[in-house]
Amino acid sequence: MEFAAKGTHSMRIACWQATARRTDVPATLLALSERAREAADAGASLLVTPEMSLTGYHLGARRLRQLAEPVDGPMCEAVSEIAASAGIAIVHGWPELSAGEVYNSARLVDSSGSALATYRKAHLFGDIDRNAFSAGNTGVVRAELDGVPVGIIICYDVEFPESVRAHALAGTRLLLVPTALMSPWDFVAQTLVPARAFESQLFLAYTNWVGSERELSYCGRTRVVGPDGVVVAGRDSGEGLVVADLDLSLVDKARAETTYLTDRRPELYS
Q: Catalytic positions, please?
A: 51, 121, 155
Neighbours of 111 (CB within 10 A): 18
Q: Which of 6, 9, 28 is nearest to 18 (CA)?
A: 28
> 238: which DSSP letter?
S
* CA atoms within 13 A of residue 22's CA, in its CB half-sphere: 0
Q: Which of 108, 131, 194 is nearest to 158 (CA)?
A: 194
Element (H, E) at 170: helix 161-170
Task: Please name every residue paired with 108 in a beta bridge, in sequence order, or none if there are none.
Answer: 91, 117
Q: Which of 67, 54, 27 is nearest to 209 (CA)?
A: 54
89 vs 86: CA distance, rounded Å: 9
Q: Which of 158, 197, 202 is nearest to 51 (CA)?
A: 158
Based on DSSP, count helices (H) and strands (E) in the chain, helices before strands.
9, 15
> 69: which DSSP letter?
B
Tell me whether strands 2-3 and 216-219 are parallel, antiparallel or unpaired: unpaired
Do the beta carbons of residue 68 and residue 96 sit within 8 Å? yes
* CA atoms within 13 A of residue 233's CA, in its CB half-sphere: 23
Residues shown for the chain: 270
